Structures are given as structure tokens and as C-alpha cells.
Structure 1
């Protein structure tokens, strides 16, 4: 019965910053529903690999990602394991599950259901912040500001469900803009309530793992759908190595984040951390679809242009995002690694442009090679640092 009596509590500040925090069992359970949502979004892109299909994929991906961001930042600052919070989290999970159900036709006949589901995720978050207003005086300014902005965004999404296409999508864009602007313009309240420096990188890392999982699923599914032969097997190995390399260069460096080190935690850098991860996770999801398309392509013909751009462009987006995170120190600060990531992105875009006549195994092999060089460069840099210290 103790859980009934708990209220939201502030989980940040000078004392809390020294507290070792990890994702709770509830947060890990909550993430499970995003496994399904990300899978459905990837399937949407798999069904339509044209430029229009990719833009639609991004348009559906952003609100799903933003719903996760809202809950994550709330839990980072105000997490409490009381029954009300558990029930509201359960409601959020149902709403995200509804998002996933409506993704496949999310820009056509299921768009109204998608809009209502997203509105429910935002209204539920507003209920969480109303509890903060009631119980945590020092956070009332931030909570009121968020309640106002997020409510306006949720209302726009809800109204859009009853407005015909394409005006419906205009309201979606306005709603997302209000959501983003609310977070960006709340600096005067956020500066005294900076997120917990240890918990935040872990949560973002877990979402990155969820999206990386799509690349592994793509390898397994692609091979299972193909007649087993040598080239398919080699392509599958290359596909796995791409996912493994991306995991390596992200998680090998994330422990060097200035957020985790609790040094110079400026609000602007936290926002770069937040928005800098968006192209990374979009790129990872795109890469997974690209890997599957490559494995399932005719090995004796040139890889179709949309598939070539999926795998090359997806990995290039990841490299560009990692370059920004390296440059700002939001993962291990290293100008050399930032340059290597940027160079890798340029090479991959070049490959997408000129690789018109290359077969699938050649494309995926070259992408895997570029990714592997990034791992080797990191190992070399780490070895240099160790030698210098000795």
C-alpha cells in the first residue's frame, strides 16, 4: 500500500547528480512497446522505398520518437514508482501501441487513428506534469510551461483527426512544431532543472539499441526469405558487421560524454544531445531496411537505386550525427574521430551516387568496409591515448 502514498519527487539537483541512476524496470517495460512501433515504421519504409516513402517514414517516425522523448525526460527529472505513475505509464504504452497499429496506413486511411493515439500520449504526459505542479513547488514553472505547450500540440493533433487530408497533415506539422518549440523556449525554467547526467545517456543508449535491433532482424528476415547461397550468406555477414560496427563506434564513445562525466552541463549542449540523436536513430532504422533489401535483391543484377540510397544514405546519416556528437563532446570528444565520421559520410554519399552498376554484394561490402575502418580508427586512437598515458 506504500505505493499509493508516493508523489512525484525531484530526481535531479546537486545531491541527486551524485546518485547512481539506471533505467527502472518500468522504463525497460515501457521501451518494449517501442520495439513494436519502430518495427512497424521500418515495415512502412520497406513497403515504399521511394523518396516519397522515405519522407513519409520520417514524418511518422518523428512523433513516435518524440513521444518517447517526452516520457524519458519526465522520468529523468520526476520519476516515482507510485501506482498513479504506473497506471499513467500503462496508458502511455496503450497509446503507443495504438500508434504502432495505425502506422502501416498512417498517412492514408489510418491517419485519424494515428493522430488520436499521439494526442493521447501527449495528454497523458500533461497529466504527469499536473502532478508535478501540485507536489513540487520548485518545478512548477517548468511543469506549467510544458502543460500549456503540450496541451496545445495535443489539441491540434486531436482536431486533425476530424479534418480531411491533406489539411490534417498541416495540423500534424503545426502540432510537432509547437511540441519542439515548447522544449526549446523553456530555457529559463530548464536551466535550474538540468537532466540527471548519468540516467539520460543510458536511456538514449537503450533507444539506440532498440533501433539497432531492426538491423539484426533485417539480416535474419532477409536470409530466411532467400534461397540460401554463398552470396546471400556473405551479404548477411556484411549486414551484421555494419550493425555491429555502428554499435561499436556509438557505445565505445558514449561513456566519454560530458553529460555522464557531469562536467559543463550546459543547456544548449543537452539540446544538441537531444536533437542530434534524431538523425542517428532515423539513419539506423533506414540502414536496417536497406540491409534487408540488399540481401533480398537479385545477386546478378545491379542494386536498384532506391535500395542503394537506403543503405548508403542511412549509414551516412548515422556517421554525420556521430560526427556532430564527437565534435561537441556529447560522446567522447575527439576532433579526429569527428573528421573520420564526416569523411565516412561523404564517401558513402559518393558511393550512392556513382555505384549505379554495382551488384548488391559489392555495395553492402563497401559499406561494411567503411564502417569497419571507423572501428579500426577508434582502436588506433585508443591505443595512442593509452601509450601517451604510460
Structure 2
């Protein structure tokens, strides 16, 4: 019985930095976000336009932020006790409600979306309150989270009863408050309570896999809805190769060096950059999947429409750009030359892909996605050559 009635405890520190992996509960929790992300990606697929993309952002960011809150709590305080399991179970229900309301989250379901998100944040506040009661060292952080997150949650709650489109302005205000609470916490909090250097990268990697899975699903759905022919086969192969390249470029450079730098160099800039660059990265991966699907579904004998061309090119360029920035966060503690070189490769590749968005007006869908796939494959080749030169 003692196992289930434990209090939260600090899971980080010099004496607790052994290899640590995600728990089964965390992996189960992620499944609920698979559904939510699938729904919001489907929304963008129905409206490939600037307004559709902005609507996608307004729904995707709260989903990502919900996952971040739960992940950081588990990273710092998870003892897998009965209280944590029950609060996580309630969060799962709230995330499921969030997914249900995403389909028309900017329309008639927007109030339901706001209330579901409010429930997620209330449960997170309760978890941090509980941790603060038992861990004196963590109280500066837990108190800050409870106040900032609590204020943002209140704004979300009020937004459910405010007419549209003013409701969405409340959402942006609430997200600004919540992001600002963490970003302005200061060195004393971020360095003293820097997250676990092996657990957190694994958790971010798992979320990235979820979003990459949407790209694979997009290719499969696109082919399933298309009459099978040589052009669609080539487009599908190129789409899968893009997903594989993104997997390679991210996971071949995944590590906790930015977190270690926060402790060793008392520098939180690299650590915060590493964390928050994952937001545009996952946005880019998700929207790249939508772009790939539309390329596969396009008539191979016609020029790819500009909206689809810009979606896939700009999305992939965003992925490559953020990957480059993420590599640079390893400069403060890793081999700086290798990180800097790989970041340079990504920045050049992002520029090339954006050039294709401008200059590829006359390209067919298969030609465009083929060129993009080649740009991604070249990145892998450059990385492999660099590894060989360092040996």
C-alpha cells in the first residue's frame, strides 16, 4: 500500500541522473495526443490556405502546450503513485474531450475546446500544488507555475462564455500569460531545477515520432484515395523518403547537451531554445505531412497549385530551419565544429526549399516532391560524410 500512497519527490539532481525512460503511463497518455493531433491536421487538410494555417496554429499550440505541462511535471516530480495516476487519468479524459472539439474548434465547438483545455490546466495546477506542498526546494517553481498557469486558465474559462471572434483573442492572451510564466522564471529556477537530461529528450523524441506518424499516415491516405499509377507511386515514395529524412536528421542528433549546459555553464539560453524550438519543428512536420498528402492527391499531369506548393515548401523549410537552431544549442558543451556545420547545412537546405516555392511555379507535383526529397537526402549524405571525416 505504501507504493500507492507516496508523495511527489524531486526526480532530478546529481544523485538521480541515471538513465531514465518514459513510463508506461506516459506512453499511454501520449496516445490521447495522437488523436488530438490527427484531428487538427485533418482540419488543415480541409483548408489549405493562410487562414486555414492560422487556424491550425491556434488549435495546435494549446495541444502542444498541454503535453508540455504534463511532460515537465512528470520529468521533475513523477513517483507513479496513486494520486499522480488518478490526476493523469482525468487529464486523459480532458485531452479526449479536447480532441472531440478540435474538429470544429474554431466554430461551434470552440467553447467546448476552451472548457476541455481549462480542465487540463486545472488538473496540472493541482499536480504542481501537490508537489509544492511536499518539496520545499521546488516551491519557487511550483508557486510560479500555479499563479501564472492559474491566471491563464481563468482567461481560458472566461473565453468559453465570450462571443467569437473575441474568444480567440482571449485564447492568445492566455497562452501569452502561460508561456511568459515559464520563460521569465529566471536562472535560479531553471538551473536549480533543470530537467532530467535523458528522460526529457526521450519524451520530446516520442512526441516528434507522433507527428512524423501523421506524415506517414498522410502518404498512405493520399495513395488510398488516388487511382494507383506510376506517378502516384513515385510521389508516395518521395513522401515517405521525406519523412524518413526528417526522422534521421532529428534523431541522429537528439541528446541532452542543452540541458547539461544549463547545469554545467549556468546558461539557460541554449536549454530554453532547445525546448521551444520543438514547437515550430512539430508544426513544420505536421504541415509537411498535409502538403505531402495534397501532392500525392494532385493530378500528376497538371502544375501543382500555389497553395499546395507553398504549404509543402514552407513547412519543410521551417523544419530544416528549426533543426539547424536546435543543433546550435549543443555548441556550449558538445563539439562545436560539428554542430555548427550541420546547422549550416540545414539553413542552406531551407533556403533551397524556399527557392523551390518561388521558382517551382511550372513544376508538376511529382517533380516538386522529387526535388524536395533529393534536398533532404543530400542532408543525410552530408552528415554521413562529416562523421567519416571526424573518424
Whole-angstrom CA distance in 1 between matches of 2:335 and 2:351:
21
Paired residues, number? 385
Deviation per CA, 1:211-241: give whole Å up to 9, x if none. Answer: 0000100111111111110000010000000
Whole-angstrom CA distance in 2 between matches of 1:229 and 1:265:
57
Mapping of residues 136-155 of structure 1, within 5 Å: 136-155=135-154
Is the 8 Å Cα contact of residues 201 and 260 (structure 1) preserved in structure 2?
no
Whole-angstrom CA distance in 2 between matches of 1:359 and 1:137:
62
Deviation per CA, 1:241-272: give whole Å up to 9, x if none. Answer: 00000000111111473436875463222211
Mapping of residues 102-117 of structure 1, within 5 Å: 102-117=101-116
Whole-angstrom CA distance in 2 between matches of 1:229 and 1:139:
60
SS of match in other structure, 1:254:
coil
Residue 233 (structure 1) aligned with residue 233 (structure 2): yes
Question: In the alignment, which residue of structure 2 is the partner of 1:349?
Answer: 354
Is the 8 Å Cα contact of residues 9 and 136 (structure 1) preserved in structure 2?
yes
Question: In the alignment, which residue of structure 2 is the partner of 1:35?
Answer: 34
Deviation per CA, 1:51-110: give whole Å up to 9, x if none. Answer: 000011011110000000111111111011111101111111111111111111111111
Whole-angstrom CA distance in 2 between matches of 1:265 and 1:91:
37
SS of match in other structure, 1:3:
coil
Is the 8 Å Cα contact of residues 257 and 332 (structure 1) preserved in structure 2?
no
Question: In the alignment, which residue of structure 2 is the partner of 1:336?
Answer: 341
Gaps of 5+ in 2: none
SS of match in other structure, 1:357:
coil
Residue 83 (structure 1) aligned with residue 82 (structure 2): yes
Whole-angstrom CA distance in 2 between matches of 1:37 and 1:303:
29
SS of match in other structure, 2:7:
coil
SS of match in other structure, 2:257:
coil
Q: How many angstroms does 1:41 deviate by?
A: 0.9
Question: In the alignment, which residue of structure 2 is the partner of 1:252?
Answer: 252
Question: In the alignment, which residue of structure 2 is the partner of 1:323?
Answer: 324
Question: In the alignment, which residue of structure 1 is the partner of 2:73?
Answer: 74
RMSD: 1.5
Whole-angstrom CA distance in 2 between matches of 1:257 and 1:20:
14
SS of match in other structure, 1:4:
coil
SS of match in other structure, 1:165:
coil
Whole-angstrom CA distance in 1 between matches of 2:259 and 2:139:
25
Whole-angstrom CA distance in 1 between matches of 2:19 and 2:120:
29
The partner residue of 2:366 within 319, 338, 361 is 361
Q: How many angstroms does 1:354 deviate by?
A: 1.5
Q: Please identify, of 248-257 and 51-60, the stretch whose mean Cα deviation from structure 2 is larger.
A: 248-257
Is the 8 Å Cα contact of residues 201 and 259 (structure 1) preserved in structure 2?
no
Question: In the alignment, which residue of structure 2 is the partner of 1:242?
Answer: 242
Q: How many angstroms does 1:30 deviate by?
A: 0.6
Whole-angstrom CA distance in 1 between matches of 2:248 and 2:234:
21
> Following TM superposition, where does structure 1 have runs of at least 4 consecutive aligned residues deviating by more than 3 angstroms?
255-265, 330-333
